[in-house]
Chain A
Amino acid sequence: DSGVTQTPKHLITATGQRVTLRCSPRSGDLSVYWYQQSLDQGLQFLIQYYNGEERAKGNILERFSAQQFPDLHSELNLSSLELGDSALYFCASSVGVRGGTDTQYFGPGTRLTVL
């Protein structure tokens, strides 16, 4: 158990809909990262938050957004869903210090299926 929790574990929805994925980081970690894992693309970084502020952005679509709340949990919002958005979405957390030793620990993921 990494200490990172994600809900829900599974989510099935229809095209055009909007969903929210939730992540609670490990105790003491200030940084939260979101990744998407699909069969053809592997693990792709989406976005990072540190202590409530966006720190880095990766391959995140405009239809997707995220935020980190004062209690440090984070939510990833996916809207106008398309079939191709079906994937595993992982949250990771770390202490958040810049530089070499900031190790990321992953949650169990949310499997999103868009029908």
Chain B
Amino acid sequence: KAGVTQTPRYLIKTRGQQVTLSCSPISGHRSVSWYQQTPGQGLQFLFEYFSETQRNKGNFPGRFSGRQFSNSRSEMNVSTLELGDSALYLCASSLGRSGNTGELFFGEGSRLTVL
């Protein structure tokens, strides 16, 4: 059974650019959650998508957005990049809503560096 796949694994952008990250969940999983991980702040919740609908959102500015497709694949986008957006972005899938199961399966992450 394939795990959660995130692409790209590494990317370097400059301030002001935008970036799109992709996540393919485990087959059959309908929920995709996105987290930002930095050394100082740990895992910060960005948003969760379930059945193509955003079900929950963390305390991030509107520059951070996402969507989910009918095949459960998800993308997140960050516009007008800032230096502070440099982080590891983790996608996690779960069978049901993450708040119900708590069992998240994480991808390897996309490491974003903003110069």
A complexed with B: no
Residues on A facing B (Cβ under 8 Å): none
Interface residues of B (CB under 8 A from A): none
